[in-house]
C-alpha cells in the first residue's frame, strides 16, 4: 500500500518563550546570548529552600495570546510539577500546568491556497523552560542554565491538519500573531519558538486515529514541512511491509533530512504530575482579563482582509504590509496622512523602497529617519506632479539619510519639475540633435524610439522633466517639423 492511500493527521505543540524582562519564577534576566550561567540564582537552579514567585508580566502575555486565539481563559488554573530527570533540568522537575491549564479551546486561522479556515486548539498552558546542553568539540557536555526558568506558553493544537502545507501555514500564522502582540519574538533559530510535531497516518475514510510519532524541537518552518514529508513516507513504508508504527519520540536530522529515533513515547503517568506545593492556584480577576483584552489589537489576517476590501490592495500587497506590526502601523499612518485614494502608491513606496532599505541595512523600522508623515508628503508631491519619478527617488534618499522634509529637499537640490514649454522644447531639440539616426527612424515609424527620446530629454532636464509633458511635446515637435 503506497503513501497516497493514506490520510495524514497532524497536530502541533508549540513552545513560545514570553517576552519578559525576567524569568518565570525569579528575578534573573530573561536574555539570550549572554555568557553561560550568568543569569542564575537559587530559584532557577533549584537549590534547597528557594521558593518560586510567579512573574505577573508572563501571566499577562499568556492571557493575551489566549484571548487573541479566542480561547476560554480560566479564572483559576493550577501549576503542577512535571517530574523527569535530564541534565538541563536542575530541580528534577519542571513547573508546568496539567489538569487545570490557563486556557482551553480557541483556534488559529490559516490560509492555504486562498482558502481561510481554522485549526482548533486544545489548550494553552504556562510553564518554565529547561536549561541548554552544550556539546563541545572536546567530547565533553556542559549545561548552560541561563535559559532555565524562562517563561513559556505551550500551545497545543487538535489533530486538524492534513498536510505539511497546512502545518507550515499554521505555524506561520501562530508565529505572526505572537510577534504582532509582543508575546514572543518568534526567533526559531535562537529557540524562542520551538515546535513538536505529532504525525500519524490512517487509511482514507478511516475515522480512528493511527499510531503517532512525536518529533521534538523542530526549529524552522521549512524543516516542519520536511519532517512531516519524511514521517509520512516512513510510516507508510512500515505499514506496507506489514509492520506496525510504534508510538515513539524522534528528532529531525536536518543534515540528512530524516527523523531519528530518540526514545519510547512517555505517557502522562510517567511524569508523576502533582500540584506544585510552593505556588498557590493562579486566580485572575475579571478586571485584569478585561485590561489585557483591550491590548489585543486587530490581528494580521483580519487587517489584511480589511486593507483589500477598504483600500483595494491586492492579497499579496496586504500580506506583505501586515506581516509585521510595525510595518502595518507605519503603512496605516502614512495612508491616513496621504489619503486613502493614495493607498496603493503608499504601498508601492513601502514595498519598493522602505522595506528594501531596511533589509539591506538590517535594522528595525523604528530606527528609520523616514516617518509616515514624511513618506506621505513625498507620495502627495509625486502624485500631484510636484516631483518627477527619478527626482522622487533622490528626494527619498535624502529623507532616508537625514529625516529632512521632502519639500525642503526639493528646494535645496533644485529638483522641482521643469514646466516651462520653451525649456522642455530646448531639451528635446538638444536630444534630437545628439541622435540624428534615431530621430530619422522615429520619424520613419519606429514608435519604440519615443521612449528612447523621453529618456534623453529627461537626462537633458536632469530628471526634472514631467514624463507626460515630455511625451506630449516630443509628439508636438515631430508633428510640427
What is the distance between the alpha carbons of residues 198 and 195, in angstroms, rounded to a whole number? Answer: 10
Count Cα neighbours of 217 within 13 Å in the Cβ-side half-sphere. Answer: 11
CB-CB contact of 259 with 251 (8 Å) = yes
**What is the model's pTM?**
0.83
Q: Which regions in the chain score pLDDT beneath 70?
A: 1-4, 266-268, 417-421, 423, 461-466, 480-481
Q: pLDDT at position 417, please? A: 64
| Positive or negative: CA dihedral 440, 443, 449, 452 | positive
- The grid coordinates listed for 120 are 482548533
d(CA 41, CA 58): 19
Give residue 3's pLDDT: 44
Cell numbers for 36: 553561560
Domains parsed from the chain with CATH numbers: 3-272+285-292 (no CATH), 298-413 (no CATH), 421-480 (1.10.10)
Packing angle of the helix pair 372-383, 325-338 (nearest 10 deg): 50
Counting every residue written for the chain, the total comes to: 481
In 233-383 the beta strands, taken as DSSP E runs, fall at 248-253, 258-264, 274-275, 282-283
Compute the distance between CA of residue 449 and CA of residue 432 in angstroms, rounded to an integer: 11
CA 239 to CA 1: how far, in whole Å? Answer: 8
Max distance between CA atoms of the chain, in angstroms, equals 99
Count the Cβ atoms, other than its own, within 10 Å of residue 393. 14
467-480 helix and 421-434 helix, angle to the nearest 10 degrees: 70
Look at residue 4 in the predicted model and tell me its pLDDT: 53
Q: Name the one residue in this structure whose C-alpha cell is 519558538.
A: 193
SS3 for 188?
coil
- Euclidean distance between the first and the last CA atom of the chain, given in angstroms as a whole number: 80
- Distances in Å between the Cα of 91 and the Cα atoms of 18, 51, 142, 191 are 21, 12, 17, 21
Amino acid at each position: 500500500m503506497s503513501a497516497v492511500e493514506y490520510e495524514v493527521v497532524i497536530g502541533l505543540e508549540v513552545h513560545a518563550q514570553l517576552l519578559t524582562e525576567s524569568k518565570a519564577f525569579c528575578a534573573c534576566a530573561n536574555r539570550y546570548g549572554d555568557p553561560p550561567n550568568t543569569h542564575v540564582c537559587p530559584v532557577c537552579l533549584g537549590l534547597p529552600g528557594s521558593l518560586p514567585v510567579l512573574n505577573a508580566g508572563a501571566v499577562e502575555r499568556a492571557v493575551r495570546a489566549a484571548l487573541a486565539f479566542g480561547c476560554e481563559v480560566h479564572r483559576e488554573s493550577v501549576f503542577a510539577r512535571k517530574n523527569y530527570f535530564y541534565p538541563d533540568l536542575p530541580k528534577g522537575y519542571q513547573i508546568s500546568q496539567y489538569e487545570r491549564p490557563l486556557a482551553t479551546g480557541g483556534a488559529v486561522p490559516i490560509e492555504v491556497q486562498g482558502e481561510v479556515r481554522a485549526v482548533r486548539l486544545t489548550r494553552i498552558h504556562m510553564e518554565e523552560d529547561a536549561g541548554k546542553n552544550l556539546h563541545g568539540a572536546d567530547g565533553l557536555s556542559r549545561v548552560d542554565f541561563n535559559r532555565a526558568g524562562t517563561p513559556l506558553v505551550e500551545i497545543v493544537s487538535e489533530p486538524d491538519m492534513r498536510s505539511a502545507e497546512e502545518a507550515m501555514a499554521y505555524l506561520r500564522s501562530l508565529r505572526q500573531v505572537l510577534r504582532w502582540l509582543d508575546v514572543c519574538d518568534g526567533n526559531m533559530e535562537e529557540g524562542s519558538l520551538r515546535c513538536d510535531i505529532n504525525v500519524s497516518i490512517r487509511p482514507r475514510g478511516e475515522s480512528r486515529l493511527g499510531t503517532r510519532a512525536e518529533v521534538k524541537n523542530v526549529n524552522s518552518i521549512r524543516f516542519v514541512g520536511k519532517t512531516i514529508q519524511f514521517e509520512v513516507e516512513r510510516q507508510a513504508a512500515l505499514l506496507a511491509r506489514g509492520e506496525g508504527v510504534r508510538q515513539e519520540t524522534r528528532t529531525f536530522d536536518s543534515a540528512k533530512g530524516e527523523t531519528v529515533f530518540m526514545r519510547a513515547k512517555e505517557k502522562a503517568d510517567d511524569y508523576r504530575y502533582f500540584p506544585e506545593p510552593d505556588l498557590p492556584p493562579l486566580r485572575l480577576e475579571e478586571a485584569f482579563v478585561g485590561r489585557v483584552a483591550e491590548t489585543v489589537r486587530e490581528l494580521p489576517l483580519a487587517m489584511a482582509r480589511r486593507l483589500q476590501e477598504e483600500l483595494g490592495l491586492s492579497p499579496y500587497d496586504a500580506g506583505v504590509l501586515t506581516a509585521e506590526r510595525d510595518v502595518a502601523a507605519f503603512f496605516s499612518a502614512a495612508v491616513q496622512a496621504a489619503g486613502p485614494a493614495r493607498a496603493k502608491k503608499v504601498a508601492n513606496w513601502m514595498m519598493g523602497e522602505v522595506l528594501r532599505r531596511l533589509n539591506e541595512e538590517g535594522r528595525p523600522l523604528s530606527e528609520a529617519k523616514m516617518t509616515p508623515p514624511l513618506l506621505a508628503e513625498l507620495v502627495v508631491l509625486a502624485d500631484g506632479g510636484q516631483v518627477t519619478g527619478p527626482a522622487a527617488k533622490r528626494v527619498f534618499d535624502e529623507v532616508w539619510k537625514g529625516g529632512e522634509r521632502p519639500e525642503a529637499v526639493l528646494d535645496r537640490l533644485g529638483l522641482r519639475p521643469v514646466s516651462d514649454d520653451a525649456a522642455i522644447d530646448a531639451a528635446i531639440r538638444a536630444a534630437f540633435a545628439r541622435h540624428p539616426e534615431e530621430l530619422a527612424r522615429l520619424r520613419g515609424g519606429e514608435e519604440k524610439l519615443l521612449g528612447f527620446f523621453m529618456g534623453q530629454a529627461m537626462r537633458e532636464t536632469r530628471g526634472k522633466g514631467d514624463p507626460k509633458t515630455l511625451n506630449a511635446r516630443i509628439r508636438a515637435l515631430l508633428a510640427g517639423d
